[in-house]
């Protein structure tokens, strides 16, 4: 009867699989709300038999969401996209769905809602992605008091989109682009630290909307991160500065790829530093001492070296 039930929306993605493992270790029963349970079977071995349940859920349907939340104590929202397509739009996934979720959490009297936003969120941002994230936060704050919003910087780890993408490009290209000259600053945070922050947030005795900024222990420029990557995979590539105007023009073509390498909105995002403002509590306030890029990156990026692990 004391079983704790956590429902994760967006649980089959990069962060989700690390979070599921953290929750099962803490003896939570985990419900993963997913549109394709048969494609998320890889999550099942992360817990004991029966501890993880995959339930087909349509996040565009209010009754479908209500039905799954009725079984839950805690809701965790990891739903998010980096680029839009015909079916997935920032406005719905980051803003409207978040409002619906917060309202249902209030209606069903859930104990807590944990929401993953993004570092750098602010009103009147020029990026559509950030605008939708800001509205999502606002919708939560206005509709459900027992909520915690986590704003991570760029998240790195075994399945990340940043280092793996540029390492893949370095396999065939003699150059890597430095958009905007590579001056944009980031505060990369390890996926395991973000998952741990979510678990600890659940256990906090906070019953008013609270925001945490999640960044790693060091700040790097875009150029510095690419140099760290190249050094780790033991490759020499020419880093070529690309003005924002040229990058934006190229992005109109690159966004048409099945997995877009760059979109106009991402070029807009790169005009802003992605570091903590210092106005909100951080990982240290959750008693988490974040891992740095240099200690974690070699553990998973070695497959891009010539000779792999032994290269």
State the pTM of this model. Answer: 0.95
* Burial letters 131-140, b for 16+ CB under 10 A, else e: bbbbbbbbbb
| Crossing angle (nearest 10°) for helices 97-107 and 62-69 | 40
Please give the Cα distance from 240 to 210 (Å, whole number): 41
Per the model's pLDDT, the better-predicted residue between 236 and 1 turns out to be 236
**Which residue matches tokens 């209010």?**
62
> Tokens at residue 60, please?
């565009």
What is each CA distance from 210 to 88, 131, 146, in whole angstroms? 28, 19, 8
Residue 182 is given by DSSP the state: G
CATH superfamily, domain 4-156+189-215+276-290, is NAD(P)-binding Rossmann-like Domain (3.40.50.720)
Under 8 Å between Cβ of 130 and 269: yes
Q: Lowest-pLDDT range, 95-99, 110-114, 145-149, 258-262?
A: 258-262
- Each as own residue / partner, the long-range contacts of residues 40-48 (CB below 8 Å, 24 or more positions apart, any chain) are 40/11, 40/12, 42/17, 43/11, 43/12, 43/16, 43/17, 46/17, 46/20, 46/21, 47/20, 47/21, 48/24
3-state secondary structure of 129: helix
Span 175-211, pLDDT tens digits = 999 999 999 999 999 999 999 999 999 999 988 999 9
Q: Measured in whole angstroms, how far is the alpha carbon of residue 60 from the centre of its chain?
A: 21
Q: Which residues contact 176 (CB under 8 A, 6 or more apart)?
A: 166, 169, 170, 226, 230, 237, 238, 239, 240
pLDDT for 302 beyond 60? yes
Residue spans of the domains in the chain: they are 4-156+189-215+276-290
pLDDT tens track for 72-105: 999 999 999 999 988 899 999 999 999 999 999 9
**Residue-level pLDDT at 257:** 87
Q: What share of the chain is helix, strand, coil (3-state, %, to 5)?
A: 45, 20, 40
3-state secondary structure 12-67: CCHHHHHHHHHHHHCCEEEEEEECCHHHCHHHHHHCCCCCEEEEECCCCCHHHHHH
- Average pLDDT of every residue of the chain: 95
Strands (DSSP E) found in the chain = 4-9, 28-34, 52-56, 74-77, 112-116, 147-152, 155-156, 175-179, 185-186, 189-190, 210-214, 220-221, 238-242
- Residues 311 and 305 sit within 8 Å (Cβ to Cβ): yes
């Amino acid at each position: 009867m004391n079983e704790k039930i956590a429902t994760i929306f967006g649980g089959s993605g990069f962060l989700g699989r690390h979070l599921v493992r953290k929750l099962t270790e803490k003896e939570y029963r985990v419900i993963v709300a997913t549109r394709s349970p048969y494609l998320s079977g890889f999550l099942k071995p992360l817990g004991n038999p029966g501890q993880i349940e995959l339930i087909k859920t349509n996040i565009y349907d209010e009754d479908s969401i209500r039905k799954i939340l009725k079984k839950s104590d805690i809701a965790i929202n990891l739903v998010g996209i980096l680029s839009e397509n015909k079916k997935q739009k920032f406005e719905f996934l980051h803003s409207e769905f978040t409002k619906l979720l917060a309202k249902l959490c209030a209606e069903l009297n859930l104990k807590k809602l944990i929401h993953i936003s993004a570092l750098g969120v602010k009103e009147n941002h020029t990026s559509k992605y950030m605008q939708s994230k800001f509205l999502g936060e606002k919708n939560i704050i206005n509709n459900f008091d027992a909520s915690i919003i986590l704003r991570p910087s760029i998240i790195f780890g075994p399945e990340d989109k940043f280092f793996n993408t540029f390492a893949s490009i370095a396999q065939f290209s003699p150059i890597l682009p430095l958009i905007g000259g590579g001056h944009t600053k980031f505060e990369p945070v390890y996926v395991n630290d973000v998952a741990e922050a979510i678990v600890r947030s659940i256990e906090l005795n906070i019953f008013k909307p609270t925001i945490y900024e999640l960044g790693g222990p060091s700040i790097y420029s875009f150029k510095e991160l690419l140099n760290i990557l190249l050094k780790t995979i033991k490759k020499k590539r020419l880093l070529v500065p690309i003005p924002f105007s040229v990058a934006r023009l190229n992005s109109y073509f690159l966004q048409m790829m099945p997995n877009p390498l760059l979109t106009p909105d991402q070029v807009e995002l790169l005009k802003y530093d992605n570091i903590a403002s210092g106005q909100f509590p951080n990982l240290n306030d959750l008693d988490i001492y974040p891992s740095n890029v240099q200690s974690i990156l070699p553990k998973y990026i070695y497959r891009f070296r010539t000779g792999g692990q032994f290269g």
